[in-house]
Amino acid sequence: MLNNVAVAVANGVAPFELGIFCEVFGVDRSAVGLPVYDFAVCAAEDNPLAVGDGHYGLTLPHGPDRLEEADLICLPADREAPVRDYPAALLASLHRAVDRGARVLSVCSGAFVLGAAGLLDDRRCTTHWMHAPALARRFPRARVDPDVLYVDEGPVVTSAGTASGIDACLHVVRQEQGAEVANTIARRMVVPPHRDGGQAQYIRRPLPRTSCDTVGAVIGWMARHLDGEITVEQLAERAHMSPRTFARRFLQETGTTPYQWVLRQRVLLAQELLEATDETVDAIAGRCGFGNAAALRHHFLRALGTTPNAFRRAFRGPQAVA
């Protein structure tokens, strides 16, 4: 269970990425029924620490010893990450954390800290696309994927630049405490409740950007009709495009295919229904467009690594209604 969260801050820390961890895990939202984390921001080097380009400093009350009790250690970006070395005490703390079953989560160039600790060896990982070549060169045993928002490799979670760190944090919350908690935090932060980690960091467009959102209305229709059959041909007709043009435009604007988008939304809907209702797995499968419980179990297991019944037992809300 996720209770204790610590952020390890090095010199040159990026304030936006540090703020992500503070906003997701450091805000008391108990008034709306959300868990309160034992949260601390820790100095990985001697105080005071420079922030960003050194325009101001930061003095923190906790040192690296506070990391020893954390269930999750967060690593924000820092300015010199691609070329600098990190304190041996910090790297040893990260190793001990993983050995005792804790998780580590990096945003952007925070992945270089994990690489220096040897925690990316033989693991798939990501970072901001601008830093990906340097990460791969410096840590050749890391399997760097520069084209995704975040990667979950068991105890090690890495994410790309800036806002993808929010996605990775919410992903961890969703895994540990369920979709309802993650979605409520997302609503309070006014961000999308879920973006799949496999989505592209950025879209290469052969044509200039336009000011219109050409598939937004169709996506809204898809979200309202997850219980029925949805084909590219149907969607293309609604968008007044050929199926080939629609599929290409959808990928450009969302970073994923129509099929993968629908599949992920169906799994998310199933999570919410398993948490909040008494409906049978068969009934939920029908409401989510999977047709039957066997199909739901198959896709649920592939997406989340667990079964619908096991998920319900783990995250069942106390006020579930039929």
In a domain, 13, yes or no: yes
| Predicted pLDDT at 202 | 52
pLDDT at 213: 63
- Tell me: do 113 and 175 sit in the same domain: yes
Asked whether the beta carbons of 62 and 70 are under 8 A apart, the reply is no
For residues 24 and 19, what is the distance between their CA atoms, to the nearest angstrom? 9
196 part of a folded domain: no
- Consecutive sets of 10 residues in the chain, 322 residues long: mean pLDDT of each? 95 95 96 94 94 91 95 94 92 96 97 97 95 95 92 95 91 90 89 64 41 73 92 93 92 88 92 89 94 93 88 67 38
77 with 223, same domain: the answer is no
For residue 198, tell me if it sits in a domain.
no
CATH of the domain at 264: 1.10.10.60
- pLDDT for 107: 97
Distances (CA, A) of 189 to 24, 164, 231, 273: 8, 14, 33, 23
Same domain, 157 and 279: no
Please report, for the domain that includes residue 181, its CATH number. Answer: 3.40.50.880
**Does 14 share its domain with 156?**
yes
Where in the sequence is the domain holding 315, given as residue range(s)? 207-322
Number of domains making up the chain: 2
Residue 282: predicted pLDDT: 94
Predicted TM-score (pTM) above 0.75: no
Determine the Cα–Cα distance for residues 171 and 37; give it in Å rounded to an integer.
16
Last residue of a domain, one of 159, 189, 219: 189
- R_g (Cα) of the chain, nearest Å: 21
